[in-house]
A and B are shown apart, each in its own frame.
Chain A
Amino acid sequence: MRDRPFIVLYLLAATAGLFFASFSTFDFVQHLDRQVHSIHCSFVPGLAEPDLASSSGCQVTMMSPYSSLLRKHIWGGLPISLPAMAVFAFLLYRGIDVLGRQGRDRRAAAGFLAIASVIPVAASIVMGYIAMAKLDAACKLCIGIYVASAACLLFSLLAWRSASADEMLTSDAGQHEHQDGNGGLVAGVLQGVAFVVVPVLVYIAVMPNYSGYVGKCGSLTQPKDPYGVMASFGSATRGIPAIEVFDPLCPACKAFEARLEASGLDQKISRKALLFPLDDTCNWMVSSALHPGACTISEAVLCAGGKIDDVVKWAFDHQDAIREAAAKDPQAPARMVTTKFPELESCIGSAEVKSKLNKSLRWAVANHIPVLTPQLYLDGVKLCDEDTDLGLEYTLHRMLQAHAAGTLGKEGRSP
């Protein structure tokens, strides 16, 4: 029974993994009410205060396209943390089960633990790589899961080695044991599948029906662009016409763009940009500069012509630096953008582009749209604000289907 300490440590690691995965799932699930919630982003979730900051690693990770699967089919998708939670519950069960076994059964069960523990480790490696390489975000709950996964694998291997040594001392395992091992492996795999499938089915079965919200958040009353202030952007040019109301220095707009691109649905819509900087330098509808420098960068976008995608991407990539610089020196954004795009120098700040930006804002007034960004209007019908993050793929996919069927926005209400 020299493996007992390792099994106990294994159980602690599996419990920790279950704990972190449960908090992560809880954070995701509470967003199914389409509201904004604070989330746990701590190594001691439950003790530390939940976090509402959109920039926290956990928020970035949860709102990223990698946090769930099947997003086109399920509102928000199936959270990755749900199967993780199920797997840790399974590992916990199998760990407890080992304690009740003796001899070669114990060794085989410990061996199965080691094999099963490879699954969360493999998933952790993939998700950790995505977090570092693609999201540049450190999610503490996720790190907790990664560490718990690694600990499970380590202690299961140590337990298996100790159980093997114990068995060598007490008996001579033979062909009979090998056959038992195969049967146990199959049973264990089936158990593991059941542990994942049952909670997933429960999740899907209990989910609210979101189809009633699709295309029901109003439509534009004057979608035409009489002032010629909208500029085509995005890679698709032949899709369904869409107007995106955005602020180039708005973090939510940047995240929206990433989600839209990752979904692939950006290829099905032909977007026009309507600049709506949340900066009181040019926008009388806000009482302060929520995004300092946004007026200047919006002018740059309007000046960009064929380079609009380059300017928008540059602005998204440097949002924090631009906002910080603008807060100290209002002229800084112009210097920054003209350093990168010198050809825009004569245009930024000109009466023409200021008038154009003003007309953009007046288009918003004419349509009585909400003072927030981002907003997407598909052929004049609004994508609900509540569906711009987790529900984006599900809702936009259905809006595209409704558009194809000619039923989009037939029962809409004003925004």
Chain B
Amino acid sequence: MTSTASRLAMGAACLAFPSILVFSWVASAGERLETAEQTAAAEPQVAVAEAAEEGYCSADLKKILRRVLTSCGLLGSGEVRGCQPVEAKNVATLGGDDFNALFRPLAQRAGIIQFDKDKAELDPGDTNLLNKMFADQRGASYFFVVARSSPEGSVQHNRELSQGRAQAVMSHLRQTFNDPDLDKEVGLLWLGEEFAQLDQEFCQWQRSGLGECSEKELNRSAFVAWIDCRL
């Protein structure tokens, strides 16, 4: 009997060993699961997919961009309306030089589509650069088109000419890129000769014009750039 009892005791001990361990481990995992669930809200979450936000997106820049985009119909309504010179000048509440300075950090991201004098048609060089710039969206949310004209001719004519240039860019994008978000992404501004004329410094930027670079030639243009800021 003693032998049988000791065998039974030994068997029970050997059986209890894995059973108790398993009980302890599983119960402990259950407690951790419960705790994790309770503290989940306080723990840092995994990063969520978001549009790009580059270092140059300062609070001031975003404030101006938001104001321009809202006033020019891009934010909120989801439709491209575009901004005329007076509107752009008013909503930007900046001088022309300060307005241009906003875009200086985009030197590697922007292109200047240069038009012939008194023309608003894109030539193959223009479309190549425009296609290249637009295809390189990366994480950007907004594509700015800022059209200008050189200060030759009447103010009214130049206003209409720069509007035509902005519209030419938009038409090309619409025809070339089958992008359902186009109207929510592209912001048009036409400044005529009245506001924020480009200076010689912009000759160093990517341009579709191959010839000499004068301020007059620079401003017969549409400045295009993706803006890598979350607004």
Contact = CB atoms under 8 A, between A and B. Distances in A.
Given A29-B22, A195-B14, A227-B180, A371 B47 contact: yes
Contact of A351 (B6, B45, B135): B135
A203 B48 contact: no
Nearest to A372: B46
A22 B26 contact: no
B200 interface: no
A314 interface: no
B11 interface: yes
Contacts of B29: 29-33, 208
B15 A194 contact: yes
Given A25-B22, A30-B25, A365 B11 contact: no
A61 to B, nearest CB: 19
Contacts of A198: 15, 19
A137 B28 CA distance: 29
A169 interface: no
A100 interface: yes
Interface in B21-46: 21-23, 25-30, 32-34, 36, 45-46
Interface stretch (B49-57, B80-88, B112-120): B49-57
Contacts of B181: 362
B10 A82 contact: no
A22 B29 CA distance: 16
Contacts of B48: 368-371, 415
A195 B15 contact: yes
Contacts of A207: 26, 30
Interface in A197-246: 198-199, 202-203, 206-208, 226-227
A89 interface: yes
Interface in B209-230: 228
A35 interface: yes
B36 A33 contact: yes
Interface in B92-136: 131-132, 135
A288 interface: no
A29 B25 contact: yes
A96 B10 contact: yes
A59 to B, nearest CB: 18
B49 A22 contact: no
Contacts of A208: 29-30, 33-34
A331 interface: no
A371 B34 CA distance: 25
B139 interface: yes
B226 to A, nearest CB: 11
Contacts of B7: 97, 100
A163 interface: no
Interface residues of A, number: 52
A7 to B, nearest CB: 14
B18 A22 contact: yes
A82 B25 CA distance: 12
Q: Which residue among B3, B14, B49, B51 has the maximum number of chain A CB atoms within 10 Å of its CB?
A: B49
A364 B23 CA distance: 42
Contact of B49 (A18, A25, A358, A370): A370
Given A32-B29, A202-B23, A370 B47 contact: yes
A368 to B, nearest CB: 5
Nearest to A196: B18
A211 B205 CA distance: 59
A206 B26 contact: yes
Nearest to A276: B49
A206 B29 CA distance: 10
A41 B50 CA distance: 38
B206 interface: no
Given A206-B23, A207-B30, A364 B49 contact: yes
Nearest to A385: B46
Nearest to A21: B18
A284 interface: yes
Contact of B18 (A199, A354, A364): A199
A371 B49 CA distance: 6
A290 to B, nearest CB: 12
B137 interface: yes
A407 interface: no
A401 interface: no
Nearest to A283: B139
A191 interface: yes
Contacts of A372: 46
Contacts of B172: none
Nearest to A22: B21
A317 B23 CA distance: 40
Interface string A343-375: 000000001001100100110110111111000
Interface in A22-55: 22, 25-26, 29-35
Given A96-B10, A227-B180, A370 B22 contact: no
Q: Which 5 A-B pairs have the closest CB atoms?
A: A284-B139, A93-B14, A32-B29, A33-B32, A364-B49
Interface of B: 3, 6-7, 10-11, 14-15, 17-19, 21-23, 25-30, 32-34, 36, 45-52, 131-132, 135, 137-139, 177, 179-181, 228
10 contacts: A18-B18, A97-B11, A195-B18, A198-B19, A206-B27, A207-B30, A284-B228, A358-B138, A364-B49, A370-B45
